[in-house]
Each structure stands twice: as structure tokens, then as C-alpha cells.
Structure 1
Amino acid sequence: MVLGSIQKTLYEVLSVSEDATYGEIRAAYKSAALNTHPDKGHTTLESSVPSSELQEFLSMQRAWEILRHPASRADYDKQLQSSRQNIEIIASEIEIGDMIVESTADTVELLYPCRCGDYFSITSCELGDMGILVSGDGEVEQQASDSSSASVVLGCGSCSLKVQLIINETL
């Protein structure tokens, strides 16, 4: 079972919360089944049931089949959680020139403000580990010879937002 970021969750299909009890899921299923069942209009599946209505009914049926059993629901919940953790939504792309430079005697820290009030940050040591040398004023002095540009995804210190730092050598 593959979970997509655009696709509705099984909980959304049944219009219940993810912490819904079995009774709440069962009641939502029964209500949805009464409202969306193809026999409601006394038609056959092959005849005049629009495909969108049939898809809605089949999605609701699939949701019930998985969420009604504790073991399959637990498996689904694990997959749902995993899919949410693997999604990296990049808010924007930034360059080193967009960042605030804070220098100390032995390191340079590059900061970019996040909309939550905290910062995205990376240090010259972290960049050095990637083969990128940064001067005290935040200019790229040298980077690995295999490319003229590189990028790294930075996470905010407080929220889940991420930005992609594009690093172009200024030589």
C-alpha cells in the first residue's frame, strides 16, 4: 500500500479522526455506505453509476476493510507515519549571499530567518565536511572540483520547514 501526499488518508475517506475508536469508524462507514452504495439508486454497477461515485464507494469500502481490523490498522498507521516523515517539503531556495554571517575566531555560522522566528543554519565546519570552504565574510572560497554548484537541505531549528541552500563558487 503506497501512500501519497496528495491522496486522502483512509481516515479522511471515512471522515473520522486518526484517533477514532472502532465504534466511530464503524458508524462513519455505515453512514457512508448507506449514502454511496451503488444499489441506493437501484442500478447495477455496470449501468448508470458514474465512475466517480463508484470510486468513492470503493475507496470507502477499502478504508473500512483496513481500519476495522486492529492489526491492519496498526500497519496502516505505521506506513502513514513513515510517509509523513519521509516527505521533504522545501519552502524555498536560498543562496549563501541571502544568509546572515556570524563569525567567531574558529568558525563561521550562516543563518537564514524562518517565518516561525527561528533560523535555518549551517556552519563552516559542516560545509567543510562537504568540501566547501567559506571565508569569514561568508564567501565561498573553494569547493570540491566535481561541480561548480552544490546544494544542501537545511531544516529550521524550531519548525518542520526546510529550505534548499544553493552553493555557487564565487571564484
Structure 2
Amino acid sequence: MQLDNNTIRQTHYNILNVKEDASQDEIRTHYKSALLTSHPDKLLQHTTNSNYNDPQSKFLEIQTAWEILGDVKSRALYDMELRVSRQEDIVADEIELDDLAVEVSSDSDVVELFYQCRCGDYFSIDSSELEEMGFQLLTEGNKLSLRARDSADVASIVLPCGSCSLKIRLLIKQDTS
């Protein structure tokens, strides 16, 4: 997933919670599972479920992802477009979690991570944005770590500067311990 113009851009693979090299059977299985857990009628029965602000929107995202990834030809075209869009994300620097400054909000549970840009402004992301992208920010004493929803060894997030056009890539390495 990548951040672009301070918004989160999810891929259809992220929506169905599958890896990009998943088989058609894996995609179908995850699609059916996502349908069962996000169908608007089912969610109305569980109105206390705060994961879905708009059940209809989530359901439509899942349907769209399936329509594209479920068809071999449209999936191949989508994969090509995805590769091209990633090549457009030329980054000024690659950093790791340890390179970021941390600020904990005293009035909420949100943790904000910063990295200073050459222009004087900052690249930033907070724990709630990370959760939306499928990452859990963990704190153990003074050490921060990220855990991804999937089992990818390495993931990355592209962060734009708040003022200029520069972007950095935050590399997320999974702890194997």
C-alpha cells in the first residue's frame, strides 16, 4: 500500500487480504470469506462492530476487487498497471522505523511518527493510518515495531512530505523472533 497526497491507496489484493502472487483459488477463498464478514445485512445485525463505518462501501470494494482479480485477463492488466504506478513512486530516501521520531498524543491512543524532510517540513504517519493499512504498531519499552496482517518478510509504505513533492519509503521488516 502506498500513501499518495495524504490519502491511503489500497490495492485490490489488500482489500481481499491476499498476497499479489496468490493463486486464483486463494483469491476466491478470501473473497468468499470477506463477503461473509462484510455483507451489509450481516453487519446490521452486529451494529457494535466499529471496523466498518460504511458497510455498503466495504462490500462494494470487495465486489470490485473480486471482479478484477477473479478474471485472469483483468487481473493481468491490473497487475501491469500496479507495477507501473509503483515505478512512478520515486523516493528521495528509504528509512526504517528506528529512523522516525515518535510523538504520543496525551488525549488519545494515537502515536504519530515523523521524519524531517530537506525542505524543513515532515513526512508523517500515525498509528490509526497504519492500522487501516493492515499494520499494528507495537511498543515494547522504548522500542517500536510493526506487525503486518500478512506474513510478508518486507513491506513498504511511501510517505509524501507535508509541503514539497518529495517522498520517502518506510521499509517494514517483520520480526522473525
Q: TM-score, normalised by structure 2?
A: 0.44
The structure whose Rg is larger is 1
The structure in which a higher percent of residues are strand is 2
Choose between structure 1 and 2 for higher RCO, CA contacts under 8 A separated by at least 6 residues: 2
